[in-house]
Amino acid sequence: MKKIIAFLIILSSFYISPAQKNEAFEEYKSMFIENLWKLYPEWATNSGYYKYNHILTIPNEAFRQNQLDFSKAGLAKLELIDFNKLSLSDKTDYYLMRDFMQSIPWQVNTQKEYEWNPSNYNVSGDFSYILYTEYAPLIDRLNTINEKLKSVPAYFEEAKKNIKNPTLEHTKLAIDQNKNSIDVFDEEILKAVEKSSLREDEKNDLYENCKKAKTAILSYVSFLEKLHNPTPRSYRLGNELYAQKFLNNIQSEYSADQIYKMALERKKYLHEQMYATTRTLWKDYFTNIAIPNDTLLANKMMIDTLSVQHVKAEDFQSSIEKHIPLLVDFINKKQLIYLDPSKPLEVRKEPAYMAGVAGASISSPGPYDKNGKTFYNVGSLEGWSDAEKESYLREYNNYILQILDIHEAIPGHYTQGIYANQSPSLIKSILGNGTMIEGWAVYSELMMIENGYGNNTPEMWLMYYKWNLRSTCNTILDIGVHTQNMSKEDAISLLTKQAFQQEAEANGKWNRVQLSSVQLCSYFTGFKEIIDLREAYKKMKGSKYSLKEFNEKFLSYGSVPVKYIKELMLNEK
Ligand code: ZN
Ligand code: ZN
């Protein structure tokens, strides 16, 4: 208990500066959030703000104009705020809102994803959220769903009007995803309605509206299937759009070009480290074979040999459950960062409504539900062929599975989320920066291993290098594909030969890089920025430097771009 109190005091001393709250800025922030939720009701829903759950945004010209108006008016009012009078925490809020509003005109007028990405149009996630999140009695949620359903036909009519010269890849994705979403409307909602105590006429109304929604979705699917699109747009974003999107989304002090060079350097470093490690291990694992001169081949042979140490498919989730307390003990023993014991993490089988892709993810409580539970969702391997299971389990072998738990859970995403929710700023919780979030998770892997997690064995280090190659090569791949015409062949070779990934993993990544851009850079960029910041902070603090203090202080700013945290951490008085 004492520990908790001490911790709260430390945290609040970062935020509540002796100067009182800035009234004008507090007012600005409330207005900003209220207008934001009116403009983007689906985003509000997903953030746990339920006032506009019944509204489905029609993606028409008026909506685009509303976004531009929001940006213009918001920026004009923000200029009236005296930046220099703001507290440190308010300054980062200011930056986040400013950067967000500044990126809107570019998105609407230049990037125009609403024209070329048909997969933008899919409503099933919003309906599933309301159906499965128990924020209100089922009856109320079903009434909300009924209200929202009425707009689905108009929504898809506008979607059809927006589509111009889309990419083939996003068209196919939209067809697949919308087809898969039909279950929500002709099964899942209906089941809930049946079980509910709604009146008969209300039930019939819902059945009717579900039917209309389903018809609208199928009509959009058939529109896409029949679309005459002789010269489809390339999935490659191209240099100009890429550079700007990188600036807007990654929000790094480094440009895409700089990050690309840094990732190439990191890859080279990792390969060298791997070979040195492989050499020290070689005799323990290969008695009759000399180490090959081809360093990549030698690394691959050693990785393949270590990868056969993996858990059984049926033990996948339980071994994750067993790791969590070990991670907590290690961190406490080594004093790496304070972990709040009152906010436990619950490991669970991935709920059915989530993608159904194997793997792991974290569901953190949203900004309006700070005391909510955090879930570690573990995908199940049920229904996989033996070969698929084996390949997956080798990828997530005994070493990598521990690093995955560090990344997703402790002290990665879960821990970062807890700290972020303690930050008193709603703005930071809402406009959280993905680069900082992923960067922290990737940084925490190295931080744990370099402090002796895994007993400093060469095996653990080798696997760590392999894992770190993944985020490094994600960046090289993304920038290569979108700005340098990297071919599929070169991409697969980068992932399998240089990053030692399984064929299936590499093919999955190739599909992803065609459908998304820039996001794959967030892992390495955030990692690199945090490592650089830690170096600078160490220098500044000299003999007073403590890793624990760095970690806690870094996280206390919330999910803010690292460049702004750097500005605040290095300029502290
Ligand atoms: Zn095996
Ligand atoms: Zn992550």
SS3 233: strand
Nearest ligand to the CA of 416 is 2
pLDDT at position 351: 75
Nearest ligand to the CA of 311 is 1
**Residue 204, domain member (yes or no):** yes
Nearest to 118 by CA among 67, 66, 156: 156
Decide if pLDDT at 528 tops 60: yes
Same structural domain for residues 351 and 490?
yes
Nearest ligand to the CA of 474 is 2
Nearest ligand to the CA of 470 is 2
What's CA 231's distance to the chain center, in Å?
33
325 Cβ neighbours under 8 A, 6+ residues apart: none
Whether 534 contacts 337, CB under 8 Å: no
pLDDT at position 548: 98
Nearest ligand to the CA of 436 is 2
Q: Phi/psi of residue 414, each to 5°?
A: -60, -50
Token digits of residue 92: 């980062």
| 362 CA distance to ligand 2 middle (Å) | 8
With bands split at pLDDT 50, 70 and 90, how would you rate the model's confidence at 1?
very low
With bands split at pLDDT 50, 70 and 90, how would you rate the model's confidence at 6?
very low
Query: What pairs with residue 362 in β-bridges?
Result: 376
Decide if pLDDT at 13 tops 70: no
pLDDT at position 523: 98
**Residue 198, domain member (yes or no):** yes
* Sequence-ordered alpha helix ranges (H) in 106-249: 113-116, 124-132, 138-149, 152-162, 168-180, 182-183, 189-195, 200-226, 239-245
Nearest to 412 by CA among 353, 328, 352: 328
Token digits of residue 16: 């509540």
Last residue of a domain, one of 195, 226, 257: 226
SS3 24: helix
Distance CA 568, CA 562 (A): 10
Q: Give percent of the chain with pLDDT exceeding 90.
A: 82
**Residue 128, domain member (yes or no):** yes
Decide if pLDDT at 320 tops 50: yes
**Residue 104, domain member (yes or no):** no
With bands split at pLDDT 50, 70 and 90, how would you rate the model's confidence at 15?
very low
Same structural domain for residues 313 and 455?
yes
Decide if pLDDT at 2 tops 80: no
Domains contained in the chain, number: 2
Whether 414 contacts 444, CB under 8 Å: no
Nearest to 145 by CA among 190, 177, 178, 183: 190
With bands split at pLDDT 50, 70 and 90, how would you rate the model's confidence at 257?
very high
With bands split at pLDDT 50, 70 and 90, how would you rate the model's confidence at 11?
very low
Decide if pLDDT at 8 tops 60: no
Decide if pLDDT at 25 tops 50: yes
Q: Give percent of the chain with pLDDT exceeding 70.
A: 95
Nearest to 314 by CA among 405, 410, 378: 378
Nearest ligand to the CA of 438 is 2
What are 100-110's pLDDT values in tens digits? 999 999 999 99
| 69 CA distance to ligand 2 middle (Å) | 34
Q: What is the mean pLDDT of residues 412-426?
A: 86
Q: Phi/psi of residue 375, each to 5°?
A: -110, 140
Nearest to 217 by CA among 175, 166, 173: 175
Same structural domain for residues 336 and 393?
yes
**Residue 232, domain member (yes or no):** no
pLDDT at position 573: 54
With bands split at pLDDT 50, 70 and 90, how would you rate the model's confidence at 357?
low
Nearest ligand to the CA of 398 is 1
Q: Phi/psi of residue 362, each to 5°?
A: -115, 135
Token digits of residue 256: 């895409």
Q: What is the mean pLDDT of residues 410-428?
A: 88
With bands split at pLDDT 50, 70 and 90, how would you rate the model's confidence at 471?
very high
Angle between helices 562-570 and 522-541 (to 10 degrees): 0
pLDDT at position 202: 96
Same structural domain for residues 215 and 258?
no
Whether 140 contacts 193, CB under 8 Å: no
Instruction: Kindly tell me the number of DSSP H helices and DSSP E strands found in the chain.
Output: 28, 3
Same structural domain for residues 172 and 297?
no
Q: How far apart are the first and last CA of the chain?
A: 30
Q: Phi/psi of residue 266, each to 5°?
A: -65, -40
Sheet holding 345-349, edge to edge: 345-349, 374-378, 360-363
Decide if pLDDT at 39 tops 70: yes
Decide if pLDDT at 337 tops 70: yes
Query: Which residue segment(s) compose the domain that 339 sits in?
Result: 249-569
* Sequence-ordered alpha helix ranges (H) in 335-425: 386-395, 398-408, 413-422
Same structural domain for residues 498 and 380?
yes
Distance CA 232, CA 118 (A): 12
Nearest ligand to the CA of 312 is 1
The residue type of 525 is T
**Residue 243, domain member (yes or no):** no
SS3 346: strand
**Residue 49, domain member (yes or no):** no
Q: 52-66, 383-397, 547-561: lowest mean pLDDT where?
A: 383-397
Same structural domain for residues 307 and 200?
no
Whether 401 contacts 311, CB under 8 Å: yes
| 208 CA distance to ligand 2 middle (Å) | 41
Same structural domain for residues 184 and 313?
no
Token digits of residue 349: 């089988």
| 293 CA distance to ligand 1 middle (Å) | 28
Q: What is the mean pLDDT of residues 82-95?
A: 91
What are 286-303's pLDDT values in tens digits? 999 999 999 999 999 999
| 272 CA distance to ligand 1 middle (Å) | 28
With bands split at pLDDT 50, 70 and 90, how would you rate the model's confidence at 479?
very high
Decide if pLDDT at 174 tops 60: yes
Last residue of a domain, one of 226, 258, 282: 226
What's CA 364's distance to the chain center, in Å?
11
How far is residue 255 from each of residues 105, 242, 296, 352, measured CA to CA in Å? 21, 11, 30, 39
Distance CA 557, CA 358 (A): 32
Average model confidence (pLDDT) across the chain: 92
Same structural domain for residues 410 and 485?
yes
What's CA 257's distance to the chain center, in Å?
22
DSSP string, 468-521: HHHHHHHHHHHHHHHHS---HHHHHHIIIIIS---HHHHHHHHHHHHH--SGGG
Whether 503 contacts 496, CB under 8 Å: yes
With bands split at pLDDT 50, 70 and 90, how would you rate the model's confidence at 425?
confident
| 309 CA distance to ligand 1 middle (Å) | 7
Nearest ligand to the CA of 376 is 2
| 407 CA distance to ligand 2 middle (Å) | 6
| 148 CA distance to ligand 2 middle (Å) | 32
Number of residues assigned to the chain: 573
Distance CA 260, CA 313 (A): 37
Same structural domain for residues 428 and 523?
yes
Decide if pLDDT at 348 tops 70: yes
Nearest ligand to the CA of 441 is 2
Distance CA 370, CA 347 (A): 19
| 439 CA distance to ligand 2 middle (Å) | 8
Q: 11-15, 152-156, 296-300, 511-515: lowest mean pLDDT where?
A: 11-15
Same structural domain for residues 391 and 309?
yes
pLDDT at position 3: 41
| 465 CA distance to ligand 2 middle (Å) | 17
The residue type of 516 is S
Nearest ligand to the CA of 409 is 2
Neighbours of ion ligand 2 (CB under 5 A): 438, 441
**Residue 242, domain member (yes or no):** no
DSSP string, 202-222: HHHHHHHHHHHHHHHHHHHHH
Same structural domain for residues 349 and 486?
yes
pLDDT at position 342: 86
DSSP 8-state secondary structure symbol assigned to residue 249: I
Distance CA 165, CA 118 (A): 10
Decide if pLDDT at 12 tops 50: no
| 12 CA distance to ligand 2 middle (Å) | 27
Query: What pairs with residue 363 in β-bridges?
Result: 375
Decide if pLDDT at 14 tops 80: no
Nearest ligand to the CA of 310 is 1
CA-based angle 450:318:308, to the nearest 5? 65
Distance CA 362, CA 408 (A): 6
What are 451-468's pLDDT values in tens digits? 999 999 999 999 999 999
| 407 CA distance to ligand 1 middle (Å) | 24
